[in-house]
């Protein structure tokens, strides 16, 4: 019983932490802020690719 | 931060010079948790997508893929200020469209000779145009109908306002005039820039909306046929689609297109699959009609971008072929009925009932939400959502099999936008005023897509009719895919000055009047 | 060279849409069928009792009113036509037949219809819009035939009692072909190393055959051909390069004059209103009805960019190559009227393919409807001529 409650407690804590973290990411738009930081770097990468550009 | 509709100053979420917004909205506990759960769902969809190495490879190969970093933000833009059923309707649609586009991308890269190079899969792929009615593929359930232009340009611009600019510039570097419609121009630019996946047993192009679209296809087919060895069938749908004497020709084009697909894929047309799809097409039409019917009342429910974006996807790109959209139709209708029964409103105040006509700015699709939140203008319906409401034959009989060719032809002729830009002035000019009356609208917002010749060509007559009818008409100029010509603020300013000077009104949410979103996705 | 005897006569026909011969034909009881697109089969508009006049707006000035109706983003040809119609300049026409060739011309005519800018005091006046095929195949041919029946022959017969029988159509084709043969024979002189006709003169004569009743032109055309057979060209060549002009609608002979004044000889005309392929005779057999054969001829020969099948698209560039060879062009000028969508694309494709695949020097320009004397355009053509000359010199050096 104790083991079960312990596991349940751990699960609840993990879920809670996950919720707090993901909700924080969600409400503060951190996902978009991260991708916004990646975006300019990607553009530079695309500029470097050799392309068979023609009609 | 409030539960009530209209309690937030939505303009405060924007940050000058930033690609993204400061934070997401607090919509009250229930709605915020709902939105959060949907956000998690989107993250899951994206996570599943990037879990496949070939998709990551594609991310680093195709420039337009970087726009998909902005998927959650697109949803945020369209859900601005929404609560309750409206929020749920928006998510039902957007999340499904996101899943559908993720599937499309995954399939494209699976067959792409540069990325997944799955030859067996590629042999089952039929490429279609971005702006093409896929009715002709309703009887090929085992084939994959993929559009390269949808993810590379169409969806990309919804995600990032500047997404098409690079490709527009490429096409112009090769001598294309700067005054053509930037949509086919960008699509041609993708082809010229060698930035389109290469796959497929064959392709069907169509003379969709305009001369530019028709000619842009010529650039793409040059590479497809002469270099990639992918045979192309050009489906020529009649322009004067209202005339009886073009329908036999149109039906024969469909027969020829089907024969072409059968020849190049080895797959046979399946009537059972066709009539299954036809039932779903009719169901979608019925639902859309019910929503439009509600929009005629003082309590419209499915309107603005909730109506426009979903109709574009469901009517044309899906065309009954994906059962999940039928389920979405049901959910949306249920939500709309519930909200209607409770006489719910999507904003705290409805000041004007507007018909939005013309070709809307693609880089500012959330303009319709802005209209509602900033000025209380309810965009009851828009030109692109006013498509065919004709019921097509859905029971498999010998007579209906023959009728089916005419039905597919009819749908193809009446693609979104095309059903208004072609077919004579009556469908563009006269029907607008019929809809104004039908929806009891007191205002017309007329998008003037500056390089859309079919629309521009009716400019003066629109104005004359508006004067004759005594309906305020606001011109909103834009350049469809290119915000460098007219920015989002430039678009808003046209409404702002009209509302302040002509209508002598003050905004409901003044924080939205001028937004620092010049650099934003 | 000695001036052509009838050149002023032909030039005068181009000064007004309602020119001397249009008036003469109408005074003789003929019905004037106005049209605006090369995809309208001309012989069907020239049946006994009627004649065709392709609409243009010579000496166009302000486009203010038409710009109000259609904005400044539509091509100037469509705006100039609407402006002229609103001014009452096309009221001589007894009907107008137009295909949805392009969106702009379609809107132009629709504006005319809604604004009631045509057909004043003409009780039988009608507007007819046609669907013409975008591909050359059997299905397209069936459509073409049906559309010609419903939107040309039927209204002409019902409104004006025009004889639309097979015999009448064949007669019209015979007359059409005679004019085509005369134009082609006159055009043949352009192949000479030291041509006895200028590109400008030829463009004036050709253009006249589109805007005036053909049967009233035949005598002058025959006379001109005869005159040319003995005309002595200048001893010294006046041109530094031979160019083929390809492109969109062009009824502005000043553009050809400008090119020739800049040192290039316009040896061939592959543009809408030109003779290639616009003045190809239509060869009829006796087995099949004339209407079907006319439609097939128009569909197969059509070089308009609205034709969308790959074979047709490829042929557009192959045809330019063939013409360049046949008429010994040193270079190609692709012209496009500003805001013309179809030719914006075709100019890009054609100029790139002709340059890269076929190896021609190519100049791609966009132009207004009425060019007048444009210094900018002159400079571009002069530079192009110089570049051709330099290439010739370089080639000469390499060859030894």
- The DSSP code sequence of C120-155 is TT-TT--EEEE---SS-SHHHHHHHHHHHIIIIIHH
Chains that touch C (3 or more CB pairs under 8 A): A, B
The yes-or-no verdict on residue C396 having pLDDT over 80 is no
> What pLDDT is attached to residue C49?
97
> What pLDDT is attached to residue C398?
65
CA distance to partner chain B, nearest, from residue A22 (Å): 8
C225: tokens are 């051909």
The yes-or-no verdict on residue B1 having pLDDT over 80 is no
Report chain C's mean pLDDT, rounded to a whole number: 95
pLDDT band at C25; cut points 50, 70, 90: very high
The yes-or-no verdict on residue C400 having pLDDT over 80 is no
pLDDT single digits (tens) B314-356: 998 899 999 999 999 999 999 999 999 999 999 989 999 999 9
The yes-or-no verdict on residue B2 having pLDDT over 80 is no
Chains that touch A (3 or more CB pairs under 8 A): B, C
The yes-or-no verdict on residue B103 having pLDDT over 90 is yes
- Chain B: residue nearest A39 by CA? B66
Instruction: State mean pLDDT over C15-42.
Output: 97
Count of domains forming chain A: 1
Assess if residue A37 is contained within a domain: yes
Mutate to test the interface with A, among B13, B23, B189 (most CBs of A within 10 A): B23
C340 contacts chain A (CB < 8 A)? no
- Provide, as residue numbers in chain B, all residues whose Cβ is less than 8 Å from the Cβ of C308: 205, 207, 214, 217-218, 234, 236
Residue/partner pairs of B60-65 with CB below 8 Å, 24 or more apart: B60/A42, B60/A45, B61/A49, B61/B114, B61/B115, B62/B152, B62/B195, B62/B197, B63/A43, B63/A46, B63/B166, B63/B193, B63/B195, B64/B151, B64/B152, B64/B153, B64/B156, B64/B163, B64/B167, B64/B190, B64/B195, B65/B105
pLDDT band at C241; cut points 50, 70, 90: very high
Assess if residue A6 is contained within a domain: yes
pLDDT band at C198; cut points 50, 70, 90: very high
- Chain A: residue nearest C345 by CA? A55
The yes-or-no verdict on residue C95 having pLDDT over 80 is yes
pLDDT single digits (tens) B209-265: 889 999 999 999 999 999 999 999 999 999 999 999 999 999 999 999 999 999 999
- Other residues' Cβ atoms within 10 Å of the Cβ of residue B108: 29
Chains that touch B (3 or more CB pairs under 8 A): A, C
* Tokens 């592959």, located at residue: C270
Assess if residue A15 is contained within a domain: yes
Q: Please give the model's pTM, rounded to 2 decimal places.
A: 0.95
**Partner-chain contact B194 A51, CB within 8 Å:** yes
SS (H, E, C) C180-220: HHHHHHHHHHHHCCCCCCCHHHHHHHHHHHHHCCHHHCHHH
> What pLDDT is attached to residue C399?
61
Report chain B's mean pLDDT, rounded to a whole number: 95
**Partner-chain contact B214 C308, CB within 8 Å:** yes
Assess if residue A54 is contained within a domain: no
The yes-or-no verdict on residue B493 having pLDDT over 80 is yes
pLDDT single digits (tens) C83-92: 999 999 999 9
pLDDT band at C1; cut points 50, 70, 90: confident
B312: tokens are 């574009």
> What pLDDT is attached to residue B208?
86
B241 contacts chain C (CB < 8 A)? no
Instruction: State mean pLDDT over B80-84.
Output: 94
pLDDT single digits (tens) B175-197: 999 999 999 999 999 999 999 99
- Provide, as residue numbers in chain C, all residues whose Cβ is less than 8 Å from the Cβ of B457: 70-71, 74, 78, 103-104, 106-108, 110-111
Assess if residue A53 is contained within a domain: no
Assess if residue A55 is contained within a domain: no
- Provide, as residue numbers in chain A, all residues whose Cβ is less than 8 Å from the Cβ of B521: 36
Domain coverage including residue A28: 2-47
pLDDT single digits (tens) C225-236: 999 999 999 888
Assess if residue A38 is contained within a domain: yes
> What pLDDT is attached to residue C192?
95
């Amino acid at each position: 019983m104790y083991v079960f409650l312990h596991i349940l407690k751990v699960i609840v804590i993990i879920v809670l932490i996950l919720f707090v973290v993901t909700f924080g990411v969600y409400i503060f738009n951190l996902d978009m802020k991260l991708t916004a930081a990646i975006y300019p770097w990607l553009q530079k990468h695309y500029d470097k690719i050799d392309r068979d550009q023609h009609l | 931060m409030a539960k009530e509709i209209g309690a937030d100053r939505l303009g405060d979420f924007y940050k000058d010079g930033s690609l993204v917004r400061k934070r997401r909205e607090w919509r009250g506990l229930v709605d915020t948790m709902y939105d959060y759960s949907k956000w998690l769902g989107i993250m899951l969809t994206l996570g599943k997508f990037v879990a496949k190495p070939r998709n990551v490879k594609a991310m680093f190969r195709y420039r337009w893929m970087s726009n998909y970093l902005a998927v959650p933000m697109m949803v945020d833009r369209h859900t601005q200020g929404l609560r309750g059923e409206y929020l749920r309707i928006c998510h039902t649609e957007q999340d499904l469209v996101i899943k559908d586009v993720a599937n499309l991308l995954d399939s494209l890269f699976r067959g792409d000779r540069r990325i997944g190079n799955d030859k067996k899969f590629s042999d089952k792929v039929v490429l279609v145009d971005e702006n093409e009615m896929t009715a002709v593929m309703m009887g090929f359930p085992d084939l994959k109908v993929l559009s390269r232009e949808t993810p590379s340009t169409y969806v990309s611009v919804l995600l990032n306002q500047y997404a098409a600019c690079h490709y527009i510039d490429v096409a112009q570097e090769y001598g294309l005039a700067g005054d053509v419609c930037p949509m086919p121009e960008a699509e041609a630019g993708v082809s010229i820039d060698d930035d389109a996946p290469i796959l497929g047993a064959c392709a069907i192009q169509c003379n969709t909306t305009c001369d530019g679209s028709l000619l842009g296809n010529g650039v793409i087919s040059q590479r497809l046929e002469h270099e990639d060895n992918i045979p192309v069938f050009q489906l020529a749908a009649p322009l004067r689609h209202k005339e009886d004497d073009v329908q036999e020709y149109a039906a024969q084009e469909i027969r020829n297109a089907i024969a072409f697909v059968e020849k190049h894929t080895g797959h046979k047309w399946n009537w059972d699959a066709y009539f299954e799809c036809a039932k779903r097409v009719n169901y979608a039409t019925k639902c859309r009609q019910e929503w439009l019917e509600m929009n005629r009342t003082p309590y419209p429910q499915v309107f603005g971008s909730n109506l426009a974006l979903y109709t574009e996807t469901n009517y044309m790109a899906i065309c009954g072929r994906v059962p999940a959209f039928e389920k979405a139709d049901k959910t949306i209708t249920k939500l709309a009925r519930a909200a209607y029964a409770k006489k719910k409103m999507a904003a705290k105040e409805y000041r004007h009932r507007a018909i939005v006509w013309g070709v809307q700015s693609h880089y500012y699709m959330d303009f319709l939400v802005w209209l509602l939140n900033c000025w209380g203008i309810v965009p009851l319906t828009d030109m692109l959502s006013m498509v065919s409401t004709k019921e097509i034959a859905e029971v498999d009989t010998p007579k209906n099999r023959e009728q089916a060719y005419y039905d597919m032809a009819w749908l193809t002729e009446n693609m979104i936008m095309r059903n208004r830009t072609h077919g004579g002035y009556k469908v563009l000019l006269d029907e607008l005023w019929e809809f104004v009356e039908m929806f009891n609208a007191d205002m017309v917002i007329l998008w003037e897509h500056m390089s859309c010749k079919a629309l521009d060509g009716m400019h003066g007559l629109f104005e004359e009719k508006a004067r004759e009818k005594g309906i305020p008409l606001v011109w909103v100029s834009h350049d469809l895919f290119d915000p460098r010509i007219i920015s989002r603020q430039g678009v808003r300013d046209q409404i702002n000055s009209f509302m302040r000077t002509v209508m002598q009104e003050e905004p409901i949410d003044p924080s939205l009047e001028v937004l620092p979103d010049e650099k934003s996705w | 060279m000695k001036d052509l005897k009838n050149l002023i006569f032909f030039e005068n026909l181009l000064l007004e849409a309602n020119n001397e011969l249009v008036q003469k034909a109408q005074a003789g009881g003929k019905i004037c069928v106005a049209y605006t697109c090369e995809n309208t089969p001309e012989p069907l508009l020239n049946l006994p009792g009627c004649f065709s006049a392709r609409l243009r707006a010579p000496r166009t000035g302000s486009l203010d009113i038409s710009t109000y109706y259609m904005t400044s983003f539509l091509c100037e040809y469509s705006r100039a036509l609407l402006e002229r119609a609103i001014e009452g300049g096309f009221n001589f026409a007894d009907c107008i037949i137009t295909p949805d060739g392009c969106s702009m011309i379609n809107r132009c005519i629709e504006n005319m219809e809604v604004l009631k800018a045509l057909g004043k005091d003409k009780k039988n006046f009608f507007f007819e819009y046609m669907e013409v095929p975008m591909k050359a195949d059997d299905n397209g041919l069936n459509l073409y035939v049906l559309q010609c029946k419903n939107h040309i022959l039927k209204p002409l017969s019902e409104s004006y009692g025009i004889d639309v029988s097979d015999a009448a159509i064949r007669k019209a084709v015979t007359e059409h072909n005679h004019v085509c043969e005369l134009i082609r024979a006159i055009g043949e002189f352009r192949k000479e190393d030291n041509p006895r006709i200028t590109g400008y003169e030829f463009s004036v004569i050709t253009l006249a055959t589109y805007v005036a009743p053909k049967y009233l032109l035949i005598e002058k055309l025959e006379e001109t051909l005869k005159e040319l057979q003995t005309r002595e060209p200048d001893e010294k060549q006046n041109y530094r390069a031979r160019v083929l002009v390809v492109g969109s609608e062009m009824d502005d002979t000043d553009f050809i004059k400008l090119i020739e004044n800049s040192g290039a000889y316009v040896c061939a005309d592959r543009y809408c209103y030109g003779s290639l392929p616009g003045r190809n005779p239509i060869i009829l057999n006796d087995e099949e009805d004339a209407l079907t054969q006319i439609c097939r001829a128009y569909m197969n020969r059509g070089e308009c960019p609205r034709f969308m099948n790959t074979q047709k698209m490829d042929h557009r560039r192959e045809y330019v190559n063939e013409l360049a060879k046949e008429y010994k062009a040193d270079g190609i000028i692709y012209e496009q009227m500003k805001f013309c969508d179809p030719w914006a694309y075709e100019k890009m494709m054609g100029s790139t393919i002709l340059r890269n695949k076929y190896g021609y020097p190519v100049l791609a320009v966009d132009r207004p409807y009425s060019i007048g004397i444009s210094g900018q355009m002159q400079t571009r053509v002069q530079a192009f001529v110089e570049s051709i000359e330099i290439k010739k010199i370089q080639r000469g050096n390499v060859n030894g």
